[in-house]
Structure 1
Amino acid sequence: MIPATTVIGIDVSRDWLDGCCASSGRHFRLSNTAAGHAQLLVLLRALPQPVRIGFEATGGQEWVLWTTLVAAGVEAVQLPPAQIKAFALSRGTRAKTDRIDAELIARFMLFRPEAGRRLPEENLRILRALTKRRAQVVDMRKRLSAQISARRKQNIPADLEGMDADLAATLDTQIRDLERRIESVIAQEEASAVRARLLLSIPGIGPVSAAMLIAELPELGRMTSGEAAAMTGLAPIPHDSGTLRGKRAIAGGRRALRRVLFQAALAAACHNPVLKPIAQGLKARGKPHKLVIVAIACRLVTIANAILKTGTPWQAQPRP
């Protein structure tokens, strides 16, 4: 069957855009520059309409192209690399080149037409950039703290200690500045501000985790509880076969968000009136600390999903 939509897969790298049209099998290579993006738009106008384009998440290399395509009215989606890799293995494709990757993306889109992430709104893109930058600076501060602790056991000059203190103060200032900017971006849009107020009403969720949920999981409140847990990689995955009951494990999902939810779960396990007894019960049964935190984080995101779905703050929720 010939699809009604012209499907194109693009493998995006720092310098090149390698594309493949699923229906014709035609390949092309353009530079990943403004001129290359303009050439791509000219090429797309000559194809049967409508056109749907997909590309893998590549750590930000695809964002300028994505924004350009959407601004020109072209449907473009971002695809998870893990799903493309699994699709390649299912086809027995072991070779990997930019040309092969582009064809795999195009064929995957035919196989899974519903897959893909659409371009977030500009306010959400700014918020995501700020939350990601904050996470990077926090990681830098953690590494610096570990280095300072290690150096204190050594006989180092006083001026080096002063440099460490200055650098730590600079990082602290940047983190505070980023947090103020995150709060400002959320407050600028009414929908985001409402979502933030609802999330902050949940004991255990603070400004950082609320901002991350808004930025990294905009679908929250429009999905089932199982989907919310799966999207964050907190849903236990069974490994059963016949009479064998394998060990459950978590995997996948949006990693940066999951790390923040672990921190929120630590607070919820101590202060949330509903989740605290659950955590205590799991500990009393001898469950490992990590399993307890995962369980609380999973329940926390399902609660957040339900509260955003109903639009009712935590205080007004009946205790289960």
Structure 2
Amino acid sequence: MNNSVISIDLAKNSFQICALNSHHKVIFNKKVTRKKLISELQQLSPAPIIMEACYSANPWGRKLQELGFDVKLIPPYQVKPFLVGNKNDHNDAVAIAEASLRPKARFVPVKTLEQQDVQSLQRIRERLVKSRIALINQLRGLLSEYGIVVEKLPQKLKTKIPLILEDDSLSLTTIARQFIQSLFQEWNFLDDRIKETEESSDNFVKNNDDYQRLMNIPGIGPVTATALIASIGDPHHFKNGRHMAAWIGLTPSQYASGDTNKLGGITKRGNRTLRRLLIHGARSLMNWSHKKNDKLSHWINALCQRMHACKAIVAIANKLARIAWAVLAKREYYNPTIA
């Protein structure tokens, strides 16, 4: 039995395997258990194995690659248009196979263990930062209920907490002082945990040549450089910088029909964390560009004069993504004279 493509609809304990022949007809489509997945695949004739880039796709991808299979991951948004009928494992597996056969289908590379480690650390850091922001907001709100208002900067609040706790003239009860002290200790703990995850992440990439090159790009710091390395892997998966910017979701959505051609907001596809980090870097560049005299800053200043600040920030983030691709693909350091 010659297979053109084999698709797997992943789940926790059961998997749906679908195989198409050279005429793109379904040969079989059946459910197998987790324990029998490998043995079932080894009985089939060699063919590319396609999975959605979702939960557990990377570990299964690595395992199958080690066994000699050609594994490709396809983004879920490319699969959805090919789903016919109700959503179930049987139809999902067929949709994955059919989507992968499209001439313009784009695939996501399977992440290495090192990339997975760095990305996991990034996600842990992101959760800790969110927890810290929530704690600071709660602490600020609770203090305001006792008539204590502190400047907006978190560092200002942190330096004032010990002074507030020692000030007997404030109308704080014993219970209030106790929970303020407890929240302050939790804040310090979160700061330490965030620092630990950043150090662990830096240890992975500090000797990486690509990391050093990315760090030379304005608007890209340690966290963004690490996220780029963890998410992108081989830059040659993308034809050019525009394709990488589109993959991150930093290009406009398009609606075209007949003589109508409209560009909307950005697609917001791809890695949300990476997109957010590039947006933050772009905002920082825009805020300081008027004090600089390099080519990129001149371009940013001209951009800000002809469009709204929010649009300009997204355009700068798109530019950063393209520069990052060029630096990674050409293995050259950032050159400010040709930015």
Indicate the TM-score class for this superposition, using the shorter chain for normalisation: 0.7 to 0.9
Larger radius of gyration: 2
Which of these residues, 39, 44, 50, is aligned with residue 41 of structure 2? 44
Q: Aligned residue pairs: how many? A: 301
> Partner of 2:130: helix, strand, or coil?
helix
8 Å CA contact retained: 1:234, 1:253? no
**Over the residues paired in the alignment, what is the CA RMSD in angstroms?**
2.5
Aligned to 1:250: 266
Cα separation, 2, equivalents of 1:219 and 1:231: 14
Cα displacement string for residues 249-269 of structure 1 (whole angstroms, at most 9, x for unaligned residues)? 211232221011011112222
Of all paired residues, the percent bearing the same amino acid is 26
- Deviation, 1:94, is 4.0
Aligned to 1:195: 210
8 Å CA contact retained: 1:234, 1:294? yes
Cα separation, 1, equivalents of 2:304 and 2:117: 40
Q: In structure 2, what residue type is equivalent to 1:276?
A: S
Aligned to 2:235: 220
Cα displacement string for residues 158-211 of structure 1 (whole angstroms, at most 9, x for unaligned residues)? 2222222222222211111111111111136xxxx1111111111211101111
8 Å CA contact retained: 2:3, 2:20? no
Cα separation, 2, equivalents of 1:40 and 1:187: 38
Length-normalised TM-score, structure 1: 0.84
Question: Within 5 A, what are the aligned runs for 1:117-156?
Answer: 117-155=108-146
Which of these residues, 310, 325, 328, is aligned with residue 290 of structure 1? 310
Cα separation, 1, equivalents of 2:239 and 2:73: 19
Cα separation, 2, equivalents of 1:120 and 1:247: 33
Cα separation, 2, equivalents of 1:304 and 1:168: 34
8 Å CA contact retained: 1:199, 1:210? yes
Cα separation, 2, equivalents of 1:113 and 1:291: 29
Cα separation, 2, equivalents of 1:174 and 1:230: 33
Cα separation, 2, equivalents of 1:244 and 1:113: 23
Cα separation, 2, equivalents of 1:29 and 1:113: 29
8 Å CA contact retained: 1:237, 1:248? yes
8 Å CA contact retained: 1:54, 1:116? no
- Structure 1, unaligned runs of 5 or more: none
8 Å CA contact retained: 2:244, 2:321? yes
- Alignment CA distance shift 1:245-1:20 (3 Å): closer
Question: Within 5 A, what are the aligned runs for 1:150-169?
Answer: 150-155=141-146, 157-169=176-188
Aligned to 1:78: 73
